[in-house]
């Protein structure tokens, strides 16, 4: 499936439903007051500004962009089987834990949430955005789209546009740079019975870095 094949209405409907469920599930007595209303979140969702395309994220990984921080919001068991390079694991259920507040509410790093698809990562983004946190984004299409387009790009027809051919050349180059199927950490690379991965260190608040993704 190509990115352009996504049905915007269906995707938006799923996101809106998720938003309602999240708002209903979040405790009212949370110690951090909400700064954005549901309507404000919905307006941002419609604009799609929370998404970063897989090609851009791949470019940042290949170039070892120091402002990129990938955050895997899947359960730890899934994260331990495979993950994107340099990613840390913050399961969705733990996202509002105070120990992650400084990591998610800062102006230096470009945090990118991802899961297998886009729904869970969007839920993570909605939670932190409702608290007013910035510099948090969603990997468009999630890991499913990542493997299909970045790690296993399909050659376009010879009659394709120059833009399509250039996009394919970039994807092929990124796949080779990232080791093809070796991008993700293999289960064999993790010792059986090993301890849980270390919790990410909080990043102190700093002024936003000029350039990069904003």
Residues 99 and 199: beta-carbon distance below 8 Å: yes
Q: Which of 45-54, 74-83, 111-120 has the least mean pLDDT?
A: 45-54
Domain 36-147+182-189 class in CATH: alpha beta
- Among residues 27, 8, 26, 4, the alpha carbon closest in space to that of 16 is found at 8
H or E element in which residue 137 lies: strand 136-139
Residue range 81-109: mean pLDDT, rounded: 94
Length of the chain in residues, anyone? 214
- DSSP secondary structure letters along 47-100: HTTTEE-HHHHHHHHHTT-TTEEEEE-S-HHHHHH---TT-EE--GGGTT-GGG
Residue range 128-151: mean pLDDT, rounded: 94
Task: State the pTM of this model.
Answer: 0.71
Per-residue pLDDT band for 178 (boundaries 50, 70, 90) equals confident
Tokens representing 78? Answer: 């899934």
H or E element in which residue 111 lies: strand 110-114
Per-residue pLDDT band for 45 (boundaries 50, 70, 90) equals confident
Residue range 76-95: mean pLDDT, rounded: 95
Residue range 88-108: mean pLDDT, rounded: 95
Give me the residue label for tokens 């297998």.
116
Residue range 168-193: mean pLDDT, rounded: 62
Residues paired with 88 in a beta bridge: 71
Residue 29: per-residue pLDDT: 35
Domain extent listing, the chain = 36-147+182-189, 148-179
Query: Is residue 214 pLDDT above 50, yes or no?
Result: no
């Amino acid at each position: 499936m190509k990115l352009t094949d996504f049905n915007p209405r269906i995707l938006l409907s799923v996101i809106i439903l998720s938003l309602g469920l999240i708002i209903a599930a979040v405790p009212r007595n949370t110690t951090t007051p909400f700064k954005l209303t549901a309507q404000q979140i919905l307006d941002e969702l419609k604009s799609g500004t929370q998404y970063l395309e897989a090609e851009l994220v791949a470019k940042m990984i290949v170039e070892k962009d120091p402002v990129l921080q990938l955050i895997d919001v899947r359960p730890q068991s899934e994260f331990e089987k495979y993950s994107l390079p340099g990613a840390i694991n913050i399961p969705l259920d733990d996202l509002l834990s105070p120990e992650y507040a400084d990591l998610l509410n800062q102006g230096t790093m470009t945090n990118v949430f991802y899961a297998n698809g886009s729904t869970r990562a969007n839920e993570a983004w909605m939670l932190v955005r409702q608290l007013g946190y910035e510099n948090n984004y969603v990997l468009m299409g999630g890991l499913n789209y990542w493997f299909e387009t970045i790690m296993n790009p399909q050659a376009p027809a010879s009659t394709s546009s120059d833009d399509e051919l250039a996009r394919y050349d970039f994807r092929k180059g990124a796949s080779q740079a990232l080791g093809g199927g070796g991008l993700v950490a293999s289960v064999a690379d993790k010792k059986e019975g090993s301890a849980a991965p270390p919790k990410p260190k909080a990043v102190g608040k700093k002024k936003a870095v000029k350039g990069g993704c904003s």
